[in-house]
Structure 1
Amino acid sequence: MGACESGQEININDAHNWYNKFMKDCPSGQLSLYECKSFLSLHDINQEAEYYVDQVFNAFDLNKDGFIDFLEFIAAINLIIRGKINQKLKWYFKLYDADGNGSIEKRELVKIFKAVQAITGYQETTPEEFTEIVFKKIDINHDGELSLEEFVNGVESDEELFRMISKIFDLSNVLRIIQSGRKKASESCES
């Protein structure tokens, strides 16, 4: 589900390079949501895409202070590069559970899927079709909500659903943007 196979690791050299890049782009040591959007060249996006970026940022802002510091940044990179399937699925669950109530409702999954489509252009299925597939396959108790356990176990045990979620919600594009340095507003991080 990430940019690389889970066997790859962030070595000392890579961590040093990530740190230098992070501090060069954001010498304050903290990346705000606005700066993150500039960092990824994502300022003129539609409302759905904006929602997804906000959700991803909030999921990586572990201490909820409104900033991503270097430790949160490297934790995010580590999850993308070498996180285990179970860890990634738990992170996806957190991302999809927009209201933070411990379950994913259909409306939340439709909304996040629309947001992902707005950024990636993925059009192989509609958000409603995708949501119905997911709930049909893994909503074991048919209550219209997915618990963390239902989600993780269901996706892990359904290879087709796992591939679909991996393809649709892959964050490796974000990692490639960060690595390639496609950032035009480095001065915005210096405030």
Structure 2
Amino acid sequence: MGANESGGEITINEAYNWYNKFMKDCPSGQLSLYECKSFLSLHGMKPEAEYYVDQVFNTFDLNKDGFIDFLEFIAGINLIIRGKIDQKLKWYFKLYDADGNGSIEKRELVKIFRAVQAITGYNETTPEAFTEMVFDKIDTNHDGELSLEEFVNGVESDRDLFAMMSKIFDLSSILKIIQCGKNNTEPESFKP
């Protein structure tokens, strides 16, 4: 679910390059939500898309101070580039669990799917149909909520669901913009 999954941690050289990029684009050392949206040209989006960007930002803001510092930034980059499947699924769970109550309700998944559609234009299914399909497949106790265990185990064990979620919720395009700038093509590290 994301860029390449090559395993291992970010190297010292990669961290140094990311640090230089981060400090160049954010000299204060703290990236606000507004600065993040400006950097990625994400202002003026539909409210659904704004919601998704806000959720992603808040998920990376580990200490909940309203800013992403370099350590939070590099932890997010490491997850996208080299995170293992279960790590990425746990992060996605946290992203989808908007109210932070430890479970994903149908309304939360519908809302995040609408937000993703607003950003990506993905329209092969409706948010409601996608949500019903996910819950039919992985809500093992049929309580209308997905626990972390149900979500991770369910997505990992269902190849079709995993492939669909990987395609729909992929963050590597955002990473490419951060690494290369808005007008450049793929960086060397993303080429096959």
State whether TM-score is above 0.5.
Answer: yes
* Counterpart secondary structure, 2:111: helix
The structure, 1 or 2, with the larger RCO (C-alpha pairs under 8 Å, 6+ apart) is: 1
Matches for 1:1-191 after TM superposition, within 5 Å = 1-7=1-7, 9-182=9-182
Counterpart CA distance in 2 for 1:87 and 1:176 is 20
State the aligned residue count: 183
- Scaled by the length of structure 1, the TM-score of the pair is 0.93
Counterpart CA distance in 1 for 2:21 and 2:69 is 13
Structure 2, unmatched stretches of 5+, are 184-192
Q: Once superposed, which parts of structure 1, at least 4 consecutive aligned residues long, lie more than 6 Å away?
A: none
Q: Is the 8 A contact 2:5 2:83 kept in 1?
A: no
Identical positions, percent: 85
Residue 37 of structure 1 and its aligned partner are, at CA, apart by 0.3
Counterpart CA distance in 2 for 1:164 and 1:108 is 18
1:14-73 Cα deviation digits (max 9, x unpaired): 111110010011110000000000111100101000000000000000000000000000
Counterpart CA distance in 1 for 2:175 and 2:8 is 14
Residue 143 of structure 1 and its aligned partner are, at CA, apart by 0.7
Counterpart CA distance in 2 for 1:8 and 1:125 is 35
1:103-138 Cα deviation digits (max 9, x unpaired): 100000000000001111111111111101100000
- Scaled by the length of structure 2, the TM-score of the pair is 0.93
Counterpart CA distance in 2 for 1:169 and 1:8 is 22
* Counterpart secondary structure, 1:140: coil
Q: Is the 8 A contact 2:30 2:69 kept in 1?
A: yes
Query: In structure 2, what is the equivalent of residue 188 of structure 1?
Result: none
Counterpart CA distance in 1 for 2:75 and 2:165 is 21
* Counterpart secondary structure, 1:68: strand
Counterpart CA distance in 1 for 2:104 and 2:150 is 10
What root-mean-square deviation, in Å, do the aligned CA atoms of Structure 1 and Structure 2 show?
1.1
